[in-house]
Amino acid sequence: MNSSFNKFLTFKTMLTALIIIVFSTNFLLIERVDALSDSKQLVLDAWTLVNEGFYDPEKFDEINWKKIRQKTLQKQIETSEEAYFAIEDMLRPLEDPYTRILRPKDYELLKSSNFGSEINGVGLQLGEDDSNKVKVVSTLGGSPAEEAGIVSGDFIEKVDGISSEELGLANTASKLRGESGTKVLVEISTESGEIREIDLERRSVDLRPVRTKRLRDDSHTIGYLRITQFSESVPKKVEEALQELKEKEVEGLILDLRNNSGGLVSSGIAVADSLLSEKPIVETKNRNGIKDAITSQKETSYDGPMVTLVNKGTASASEILAGSLQDNGRSILMGDQTYGKGLIQSLKSLGENSGVAITVASYLTPKGNNIQGQGITPEKLLDLPDASEYGSAEDKWVRNAELFLDSFLEKEEVSIQTPEISNEEI
């Protein structure tokens, strides 16, 4: 009896001690979480957003994502800037340059470029190549970078004497931005290996995302529509431009997507919807492996013959549009191989007016082509130098597209006239 009673007392004592340990541990953990500084909370919030949204969760297991969070929170992080650097270090093992921290200035600038009509800077859209070198995707029309002769495919070697390799993509882009009137020294290398230094003065760049005009020759009237990027206002502006061109009785359309590095994917899809009738636009694949096909509505804003101009600076949302037009046989693509960005980002807000861009999905063209790192090959390649001003009278790419449409329209006229001759003979 005493033996059994003693065993019971021993068990009760151990159980009580265990409960005390568990509750003490939980209490300590709660205290530790509650005790997180604002700066460390910023890091934890960024980790959570990426953890919930990143398109490739298998990567988390590969890099031990939870351990990275633990190690990062153990660092001494006392200021917002230290938090941003810690987040950059934390995201680096994902090996995705598009999943990145956006400091307040960069976050505000990205939002304004998506929703506004102008930005301050030098007018460069940047990406990374396979070797993680910072590469020019495109230059904005009328920007300091374009005027200095920087083109798609050039590499940013240094910004104000600091190596872009040391800075990384996000910090390189950040250092290029700034107040109008200030200057930045940029070292550029070309694909052929030539290196040059350029002193660029930052200024306000008018994005003018949609530009249009009518091209006339002796026989036909062609509409020219240039989209420089896909911001929130673009679908409506495109609708208005197409309506205006239809009222001018254009017989064909040249859609110019050269140096359009993308923007809001939803805007690119909306423009595709206005040019396609009940056709697949794009197929997206999220973190669960689910492929969602997006199909256009029946009504279109323009259903006449088209040529679409693309080049190395045509990327992301522009490639979604170009790929949908090509795969559905809606438009001939003319120009050069596109950039090859087949990943979609979502922009999330963090504290301190900062944000984080997260790659949330990949996409395929209607025929199932994955263009990430590959790009889209036009049916007709143009071995011609780009014009200094797109759409001008000296733009040989536009002239080639115009001649192609003229030829197509003439053949169409012959095919319409032929049955009338046959009926007369009968």
In contact, 222 and 405? CB cutoff 8 Å: yes
Give the HSE-up count for residue 399: Cα atoms under 13 Å, Cβ half-sphere: 9
Catalytic residue list contains 316: yes
The active-site residue out of 96, 106, 273, 327 is: 327
Catalytic residue list contains 327: yes
DSSP secondary structure letter of residue 97: T
The active-site residue out of 341, 348, 362, 395 is: 341
Nearest to 280 by CA among 289, 288, 290, 269: 269
Give the Å distances, CA to CA, from 179 to 123, 231, 251, 296, 333. 13, 22, 45, 41, 38
CA distance 74 to 176: 32
Q: How many CB atoms lie within 10 A of CB 110?
A: 17
- DSSP letters for 206-227: E---EEEEEEE-SS-EEEEEEE
Structure tokens of 33?
């979480």
Catalytic residue list contains 233: no
In contact, 418 and 350? CB cutoff 8 Å: no
**CB within 8 Å of 319: residues ≥ 6 apart:** 262, 338, 339, 340, 341, 342, 371, 375, 376
CA distance 26 to 54: 30
The active-site residue out of 143, 164, 261, 316 is: 316
Q: Would you name the residues annotated as active-site residues?
A: 316, 327, 341
